Structure 1
């Protein structure tokens, strides 16, 4: 069964991705963690927790936020990688990453 991941920015712009089983199976959980760790560091994201603990949801939200709508629109290969790795880590059929409201819904 395919997974659906939607990334929503505050202005109502949405990016929807469908991730098939074969595509999802090609990414291991450890690889997905490494991908988000790398992106989080390269984008110089800030921890939202005052104690510095960064949860997977924080990484997924902040990578989307600091990458911005323009990266999702202009770099489709990167955007599909984002969706694939997020889908692997969250392991849900439907995910909505709401950047403007800093929330992830299932």
Structure 2
């Protein structure tokens, strides 16, 4: 399965990634857990539980547009791990709207 991941910070700041093998979901969750802590992400949820989509959106938000623009290796890891966790062939991470679409 081919995966297409789009990370959007607005109309003029979109990053697209195409992958054929995203990797294991457990490893992807661990990667997001580490990045969530490194970036000192803060998410408030009504239940107090942080879901995978909250981690993905928060890591993208706290990393910021500049990280995707200047650190291709990190951005590729973000895309690969997003695909591994969500398992969809098309994923749009809309940081500006704080939403994920399929």
What TM-score do you get using the length of structure 1 for normalisation? Answer: 0.91
The aligned counterpart of 1:86 is 82
The aligned counterpart of 1:66 is 62
| Aligned with 1:97 (options 60, 81, 93) | 93
1:33-84 per-position Cα deviation (integer Å, ceiling 9, x unaligned): 1000000001010123044210000000000000000000000000000000
Q: How many residues align?
A: 102
The aligned counterpart of 1:16 is 16
What TM-score do you get using the length of structure 2 for normalisation? Answer: 0.94
Structure 2: gaps of 5 or more residues: none
Q: Check conservation: 1:47, 1:53, Cα contact below 8 A.
A: no
1:1-51 per-position Cα deviation (integer Å, ceiling 9, x unaligned): 210000000353100000113xx2xx2111101000000001010123044
For the residue of structure 2 that corresponds to 1:52, the secondary structure is coil
